Amino acid sequence: MTRQQRRVASELGAVLAILLLSAPLGCSDCDTSIATNALPDGTVGVVYSFALASDCGGDFWYLSEGNLPPGIGLQDNGILVGTATRAGVSTFTLAVVDEHSGETAFKTFTLTMHPAS
């Protein structure tokens, strides 16, 4: 590499570093939110699986309040999955975190598990 090529490469590297360091992390034009409005009902003894959706981020999901139906779990990628062991209605609050911005969104859901036929 010539002296001029090294100088240009060095300047380009500096510009790139400035651009990367000044870029905002996460979603800069919207707020993290839970897009799912309602959960489909399930049936005791039948595998339940539902993928939650978020807007503008949403890298890690967790149960914030309440209890999921017995036998149903929440994966950290936002998938509710399992086989319900008891009929009933469960109300709980789920949260999703955008790992880049740190924003957290919460939403309360009701999930009904019907008795097996």
Q: Which domains does the chain have, with CATH numbers?
A: 25-114 (2.60.40.10)
DSSP H or E segment with residue 11: helix 3-22
- The answer on pLDDT for 9 being more than 70 is no
- The answer on pLDDT for 36 being more than 60 is yes
User: What pLDDT is attached to residue 99?
Assistant: 85
Closest-CA residue to 106 (of 62, 49, 50): 62
Where residue 75 falls among pLDDT bands split at 50, 70, 90?
very high
The model carries a pTM of 0.74
Where residue 18 falls among pLDDT bands split at 50, 70, 90?
very low
Where residue 10 falls among pLDDT bands split at 50, 70, 90?
low
What is the C-alpha separation between 94 and 59, in angstroms, rounded?
A: 13
